[in-house]
Amino acid sequence: MEEIRRPDDMVRISTPEQADAFIAEQVKLIQEQVGDKKVLLALSGGVDSSVVAALLIKAIGAQLTCVHVNHGLLRKGEPEQVIEVFRNQMKANLVYVDATDRFLDKLAGVTDPETKRKIIGGEFIEVFAEEARKLDGIEFLAQGTIWPDILESEKGIKAHHNAGGLPEDMNFELVEPVKILFKDEVRVVGKQLGLPDNMVFRQPFPGPGLGVRCPGAITRDRLEAVRESDAILREEFEKNGLAGKVWQYFTVVPDFKSTGIRDGKRTFEWAVIIRAVNTKDAMSATVENIPFELMSHLVERITSEVPGVNRVLYDFTPKPSGTIEFE
Ligand code: XMP
Closest Cα to atom 14, ligand 1: which residue? Answer: 206
pLDDT exceeds 90 at position 157: no
The neighbouring-strand residues paired with 255 are: none
pLDDT tens-digit profile of 41-60?
Answer: 999 999 999 999 999 999 99
- Which pLDDT band, with edges at 50, 70 and 90, does 227 fall under? very high
Share of the chain above pLDDT 70, in %: 97
pLDDT tens-digit profile of 122-150?
Answer: 999 999 999 999 999 999 999 999 999 99
Does ligand 1 have an atom closer than 6 angstroms to the CB of 282?
yes
Share of the chain above pLDDT 90, in %: 92
Closest Cα to atom 10, ligand 1: which residue? Answer: 206
Closest Cα to atom 3, ligand 1: which residue? Answer: 323
pLDDT tens-digit profile of 65-107?
Answer: 999 999 999 999 999 999 999 999 999 999 999 999 999 999 9
The domain ranges of the chain are 16-200, 209-314
Mutation choice for ligand 1 from 74, 214, 319, 324, CB with most ligand atoms inside 8 A: 324
- pLDDT for position 162: 56
- pLDDT for position 75: 98
Please name the residues in contact with 162: beta carbons below 8 A apart, sequence gap of 6 or more.
143, 144, 145, 149, 176
Strand ranges (E), the chain: 38-42, 64-70, 93-98, 138-142, 173-175, 248-252, 257-262, 265-278, 286-287, 309-314
Asked if 16-200 and 209-314 have one fold, the answer is no
- Which pLDDT band, with edges at 50, 70 and 90, does 1 fall under? low
To the question of domain 16-200 being in CATH 3.40.50.620, the answer is yes
Q: What is the architecture of the domain spanning 209-314?
A: 2-Layer Sandwich (3.30)
